[in-house]
């Protein structure tokens, strides 16, 4: 079955190449092909301060984004991430290859094409979609990113594609196998209807969204089903004096046993401000009702669910960044959870080495209380060297 997708990718590339042929110089080509992406090296070293151990993980990551425009009303998109993993981490963590191959979509489009004791090659197709446009109407079918989040850190309204905020290596974010209809009204408001059938029982997500602007604020209202829950949501974005202010809230109530279950809430809000000297600052807060006891610092690396974006009831983030020069950018953020004083500190320094080539150093430090003893738990150092390319 997975070989079918490899063949499909090859056929796609052959078909997309036809987009280079145009009818006449003064006309719009029937087929227009676009290709861009990046290649990056991401070596890292993780230190386990509890067990006095350390291990390395080395990733080569290739992103390929392709789009084939057909006339003026339709297009196809195919995007994938190809990665090679090696290092101590894949040897000491049982089932790491199976974890990489896990695909939560209705159609399995993630596969390992290389597996051994010390190296794994993996491909994930996270965009395979057809778009059709007709004036204010847009219909999208296939694996796509349905981004309903409005906040810049946590997104309780992102029901279709919730993600881990700390996963800095996946800026494109995952996709959903879904059908989506968007209709823009003349007054600037928009209706959206989306449905994503689940791979597992009670895993469907379907919702309707109405977005509009009022009193200089962008507002959205959501309603639908989220897995085995009835769900409703509200999001907003605007300015509070000179600062930006955003927020989201979602309500989830299990529907198989509605009368004898209780609802769960997930909410976030935050402000951001850019000072005249270039400093960018952000303060954000997240509340979600957790299932089970709060865990400690290293559990910040968490599989996201819109109902529980962090494994703590309350999370507070403070972030600041500054462009030292046009080539050099520094950024630092701290997340604190008061339940057990869990803390993560992650500074980043990035530098442009030339056209389309950027180097970055990232540090993640986890600390928290274990049996009332606050201690450093783990830390990780990453070096990110990224080359962007665009064919046409």
Instruction: Tell me the per-residue pLDDT of 345-390, one tens digit each, with 9 for 90 and over.
Output: 999 999 999 999 999 999 999 998 888 888 999 999 999 999 999 9
- Alpha-carbon distance 139 to 130, whole Å? 8
- Alpha-carbon distance 31 to 1, whole Å? 29
Cut 0.75: pTM above it: yes
Please tell me the least confidently modeled range out of 23-37, 95-109, 203-217. Answer: 23-37
N-term to C-term CA, the chain: 32
pLDDT of 297 above 60: no
pLDDT of 3 above 70: no
The burial of 258, by beta-carbon neighbours within 10 Å (0-12 exposed, 13-18 middle, 19 or more buried), is given as exposed
- Per-residue pLDDT tens over the stretch 228-253: 999 999 999 999 999 999 999 999 99
Tokens 């997340």, residue? 335
- Alpha-carbon distance 128 to 138, whole Å? 16
**Token code pair at residue 76:** 């196809």
- Alpha-carbon distance 290 to 269, whole Å? 18
**Token code pair at residue 75:** 């297009």
For 53-97, the three-class secondary structure string (H helix, E strand, C coil) is EEEEEEEEEEEEEEEEEECCCEEEEEEEEEEEEECHHHHHCCCHH
- Per-residue pLDDT tens over the stretch 137-161: 999 999 999 999 999 999 999 999 8
- Per-residue pLDDT tens over the stretch 23-77: 444 567 889 999 999 999 999 999 999 989 999 999 999 999 999 999 989 999 9
- Alpha-carbon distance 252 to 255, whole Å? 9
Name the 3-class secondary structure at 384.
Answer: strand
- What are the distances in angstroms from CA 154 to CA 269, 283, 308, 309, 389? 9, 12, 10, 7, 30
Taking alpha carbons only, the member of 158, 140, 197, 5 closest to residue 82 is: 5
pLDDT of 299 above 60: no
Domains annotated for the chain, with CATH where assigned, are 2-390 (2.40.160.10)
For 159-180, the three-class secondary structure string (H helix, E strand, C coil) is CCCCCCCCCCCCCCCCCEEEEE
């Amino acid at each position: 079955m997975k070989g079918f997708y490899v063949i499909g990718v090859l056929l796609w590339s052959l078909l997309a190449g036809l987009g280079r042929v145009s009818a006449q110089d003064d006309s719009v080509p029937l087929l227009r092909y676009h290709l861009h992406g990046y290649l990056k090296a991401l070596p890292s070293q993780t230190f386990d301060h509890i067990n006095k151990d350390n291990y390395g993980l080395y990733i080569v990551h290739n992103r390929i984004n392709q789009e084939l425009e057909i006339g003026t009303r339709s297009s196809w998109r195919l995007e994938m991430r190809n990665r090679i993993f090696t290092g101590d981490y894949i040897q000491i963590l049982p089932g790491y290859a199976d974890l990489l191959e896990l695909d939560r979509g209705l159609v399995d489009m993630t596969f390992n094409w290389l597996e051994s004791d010390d190296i794994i090659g993996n491909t994930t197709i996270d965009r395979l979609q057809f778009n059709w446009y007709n004036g204010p109407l847009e219909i999208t079918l296939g694996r796509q990113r349905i981004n309903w989040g409005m906040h810049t850190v946590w997104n309780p309204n992102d029901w279709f594609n919730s993600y881990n905020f700390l996963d800095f290596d996946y800026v494109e974010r995952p996709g959903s196998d879904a059908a989506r209809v968007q209709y823009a009204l003349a007054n600037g408001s928009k209706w959206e209807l989306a449905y994503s059938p689940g791979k597992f029982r009670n895993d469907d997500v379907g919702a309707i969204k109405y977005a509009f602007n009022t009193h200089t604020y962008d507002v959205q209202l959501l309603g639908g089903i989220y897995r085995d829950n009835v769900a409703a949501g509200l999001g907003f974005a605007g300015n509070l004096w000179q600062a930006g202010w955003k927020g989201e809230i979602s309500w989830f109530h299990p529907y198989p046993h509605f009368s004898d279950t209780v609802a769960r809430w997930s909410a976030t809000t935050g402000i951001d401000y850019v000072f005249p000297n270039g400093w960018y600052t952000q303060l954000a807060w997240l509340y979600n009702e957790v299932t089970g006891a709060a865990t400690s610092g290293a559990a910040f690396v968490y599989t996201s669910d819109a109902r529980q974006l962090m494994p703590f009831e309350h999370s507070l983030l403070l972030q600041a960044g500054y462009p030292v020069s046009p080539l050099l950018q520094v950024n630092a953020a701290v997340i604190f959870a008061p339940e057990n004083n869990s803390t993560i500190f992650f500074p980043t320094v990035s530098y442009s080495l030339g056209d389309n080539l950027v180097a970055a150093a990232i540090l993640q430090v986890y600390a928290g209380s274990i049996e009332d003893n606050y201690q450093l738990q783990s830390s990780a150092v990453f070096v990110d060297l990224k080359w962007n390319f665009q064919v046409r």
